[in-house]
Amino acid sequence: MKPIAERFHDTKLMVGGIAVMILSCLMLVNWTGGEMATWRYYVAIYFMYATGYPIGHTAVLTWFSKLSKQSSEGFLQGWFGSAGSFGRIILPAASGVIAQYAGNDTLFISIAIVLALTWAFVVYFYEVFTRLTL
């Protein structure tokens, strides 16, 4: 991760990591209605958990750490930790409900939409995010 972080700014890594996670979710949608190829599942899981999430999450943590030096670090880190705990409690349950009642395709499309909204937010405020952490 260090060579990547030295070459690209944290905000750029966030944008790239989220984009890879969107791609991963869209690969898990069964667009044809037939049986999904096993290789597609493995590639999608690789993109999500070996590429997109580690790069994006590490960049967010680094960005957040740099941002917290400009104000109350404990307060901001507490919010970050609380948001993570909330997500680990609520989102798996919500995903199970969506998958059970609406199907896996709806679940992965929903996740891709949430990620796309996050990506659009980061891209829209790209200059501000970059300026705050220089």
- 48-87 pLDDT, tens digit per residue, is 999 998 988 888 887 877 777 666 777 777 888 898 899 8
The single-letter code of the amino acid at 45 is I
The single-letter code of the amino acid at 70 is Q
Across 101-122, average pLDDT: 95
**Segment among 43-52, 57-66, 84-93, 100-109 with least mean pLDDT:** 57-66
Q: Tell me, what's the pLDDT at 46?
A: 95
Interatomic CA distance for residues 27 and 23, integer angstroms: 6
Both tokens of residue 47? Answer: 């993109």
Q: Tell me, what's the pLDDT at 5?
A: 66
CB 15 within 8 A of CB 121: no
Q: Tell me, what's the pLDDT at 70?
A: 62
DSSP letters, 31-100, are SSSSPPPHHHHHHHHHIIIIIIHHHHHHHHHHHHHHHHTTS-HHHHHHHHHHHHHHHHHHHHHHHHHHHH
Whether this model's pTM surpasses 0.75: yes
Residue whose C-alpha is closest to residue 122's, from 44, 16, 15, 1: 15
CB 80 within 8 A of CB 66: no
